[in-house]
Amino acid sequence: MPSLHKLLAVIAISIGASHTAWAQNSGGYPNRPITVIVPMSAGGTADLVARNLVPVLTEKLGQSVIVDNRVGANGAIGEEYFSRAKPDGYTLMIESTSIATNPWMSTLTYDPRRAFIPVIQIAAVPLVLVVNTNKVSSQNVKEFIALAKKNPGQINYASWGNGGIAHFAGEIFKSITKTDITHVPYKSTAQALSDTLAGQVDAMFPTLPLAMQHLGGGKIRALALTSPVRSPMAPDIPTMAEAGVPGVEVETWFGIFLPAGTPQDIVNKIQLTTQSLLTNPSFKSHLEKQGFRVIGGTQAEFNKFYLAEIERYGRIVKEANLKSGE
């Protein structure tokens, strides 16, 4: 089986032949390396998206594209850094749903609705409730709920930070099931997952692509997906609704952003270039095999979705009475 690097090289060659024409159509942009800010840790799902996209963007744009992980505060540290970037197209950001939850869970020095231009939505993935096999005997969601109700406050779950989508999934699950499980926030996805695998915490709501890397190892057990339908990549894992808990439907999505003030022709080039990658059958299949639901689309579509997501999570915070310290 070919390595990831070889596979990406083949994909890049198949879709990169026209990068010279692209450069001619945008006044020579780009003519130097581009940095992609990823406000999440190496090894997390946002980083996985970036690492898949960067090699083919490099080939397509004809310039080196480099990932810069700026970790902390559920992405807010990287977002704040990005908000001060020069709007010249040489600094992009790939961020997740956290960009829509942070305004409600953190005190920010920037307004993400004004500081960033949503360029294109890349993909989305469901979360999956997993439990440590040595600490939690539950074989399904019904048994997990019963265990939590029998031991109020004694079962805990990890997330990659207050206000992150895994935190929201856990709080929505608690609200619907009327259970008392304790949230344990970490500074990064890698730390949260590592401690879940090691049994330092009982459960977690990681993204499906991350969970799939560990489900065969016997350290964690998947109980249910937070998606409306089962994933073709994990057909044996039921949805929350199938497991008897309708209403816990939470996906995390990923998109490309540019700083406000970036010239529209550069915005258009990044959007069109990325869209051409996402619609390439080889690259699309490559992402889907890792558990991603590829989306793509226009800038206007992503902008509408992005603003609606910010408002949606604001309503969830209010209805669930979530606080940044929970």
Per-residue pLDDT in tens (0 to 9) along the chain, 326 residues: 445 555 555 555 554 443 444 344 456 899 999 999 999 988 888 999 999 999 999 999 999 999 999 998 889 999 999 999 999 999 999 999 999 999 998 899 999 999 999 999 999 999 999 999 999 999 999 999 999 999 999 999 999 888 888 999 999 999 999 999 999 999 888 899 999 999 999 999 999 989 988 999 999 999 999 998 898 888 999 999 999 999 998 889 999 999 999 999 999 999 999 999 999 999 999 998 888 889 999 999 999 999 999 998 898 888 777 765 55
pLDDT at 27: 64
pTM given for the model: 0.81
32 within 8 A of 90, measured Cβ to Cβ: yes
pLDDT at 80: 97
Dist CA 199 CA 59 (whole Å): 42
Q: CB within 8 A of 44, min separation 6: which ones?
A: 160, 188, 189, 190, 210
Report all structural domains of the chain as residue ranges with CATH numbers, in order of start.
Answer: 4-124+253-320 (3.40.190.150), 128-225 (3.40.190.10)
